Each structure stands twice: as structure tokens, then as C-alpha cells.
Amino acid sequence: MPRYRLTLEYDGSGYNGFQAQTDQPTVQGAVERAITAFCGETVRIAAAGRTDTGVHATGQVIGVDLEKAWPARTVMNALNAHMVEEAVSVLDCVEAEPDWHARFSATGRRYLYRILNRPGRPALDRGRVWHVRKPMDADAMQAAAQALVGLHDFTTFRDIACQSKSPLKTLDVARVSRVGDEVHLVFEARSFLHRQVRSMTGTLAEVGQGRWAVEDVAKALEAKDRAACGPVAPSDGLYLTGVSYEGLTQ
């Protein structure tokens, strides 16, 4: 039974998250329906990350086992043909090793958060950025973000519905920069807690707007208390941009 590794891009605006749900539009549901339409098989795909409602991806990775050995290019083209009405696209497809797993083999995940920081609301990027009108100090946000890098107890930035066994995570990268009218936040880690990125982003945005001091982020982290977190950023601006595997970076 061949196993395939596929890289997906999707606009999460119209989906109730990645994970399949009864009577709700999801990315997983769209892909699995396309697989059935292509080859007649009913399968369950595995994903590197289960993105929330409204979250986008430019580098989501999934794995699927098929009964028949199809050329990888055929699988990619067929799925795209059956998803022309969906905001989901297969960017790449290769045959993977039998012991490879989209989630458990991953060694790192990378997220980008886009904040549109200008007075005028978005027209072309509506639903794809968080619009903040008040001027933001990206340098102050960058300075504050460094307190989050490393191994920490991220309870403060952990959603109350998080099912992870431990709040301990190692954040490898927290980078904030201004790109024209946008402020970009990039986070990299092996894995993240539920809504950790949106929680950290919302807190750093408080620094950017001058409501928090740079050192307040470190204090919030040290509090290990969800109540110490700033407002959680909306899902609109969040993108899963890449997943790393041993010897491979998507």
C-alpha cells in the first residue's frame, strides 16, 4: 500500500478548521471527498497540524495511503481537478517511506501571522490579515518576543481547551518585522499548544500599540497563568507556512 506526502495550500476563511466534522465544511473533508471521487477509496488522511477555523496554510503537509500505486503527479492533478470548487490546492505530491507520518515524523512547524497596520481596512486581503489601525512599533514587539524563545512553561499562552499533556514547549524562533504596511510575526517550534501562536501574537500586539511595556511579556510568561495573557489575535492573519522533517523542509 503506497503512502503519499502532499503539500497543501488553502484559504481557511470558509472552513470550520482542518479536522473533519459532521455537517461542517473542513479542509480534511474537502480533500477526502476528492480522494474518493478520484479513486473510489474512502480514506482518512493525517495532517502535520490541525489548523483552527479561519486559519490558512501555504505549507500544510498531509499523508494518505492508497490501495493502488498511482504516479504522484497523477494523484496531485486528480485531487486538484476534484477540488476546483474548494479553496484548497495540492502544491506537491511525492511517494513517502512506509514509516513516514505527516504528524509524528515532523521535526518542526513554522507559522506566519500577518497584521495589516494602516488606517484603511483591507479590501483584497479581507479575511487574510488582522487589521490594526493604530501604529505599531515592530521593533518593540521583536524585543519583547525574545523572552518567549527557548524551553518554557507556556501555560499563559495555552488555550483552556488545549489537550496537550504538558505546557512545556521549546520555541525556536520568534521574529517580528515590518514589511511595508504589514507587521509579520514568524514562530518556529517542533510543536505548539492549542492557540499558542494567536495568544502570543495578541500579547505582542499590546506591546506594539504601547499598552504593554517590553518587559511585560516576560512577566506574563513567568506568571504561568492564562489570565496574564493579552487578547487572543483573530484567526484571519494566521498561516501554517511550513513543516520540517528529517532531511526535508517543506
C-alpha cell at 126: 479581507
If you search the block for the grid coordinates 486528480, which residue do you land on?
Answer: 78
CB atoms closer than 10 angstroms to residue 126 = 12
Q: What 8-state DSSP symbol labels residue 3?
A: E
- Cα–Cα distance for residue pair 241/144, rounded to 1 Å: 23
Q: Which backbone phi and psi does 200 adopt, to 5 degrees?
A: -65, -40
Question: Which three cell numbers, joined as nine digits, stand for 215?
Answer: 518587559
> What are the binding residues for substrate?
111
DSSP classification of residue 113: E
Active-site residue identified among 11, 23, 52, 99: 52
Q: How far apart are CA 229 and CA 21, in angstroms?
A: 30
The residue assigned the cell 514509516 is: 99
**Residue 249 C-alpha from the chain's centroid:** 15
SS3 state of residue 57: strand
Taken in order 82, 85, 91, 96, the sign of the CA dihedral is negative
Residue 181 bears catalytic tag: no
Q: CB neighbours of 152 closer than 8 A, spacing ≥ 6?
A: 168, 169, 170, 171, 221
Q: Which residues are catalytic?
A: 52
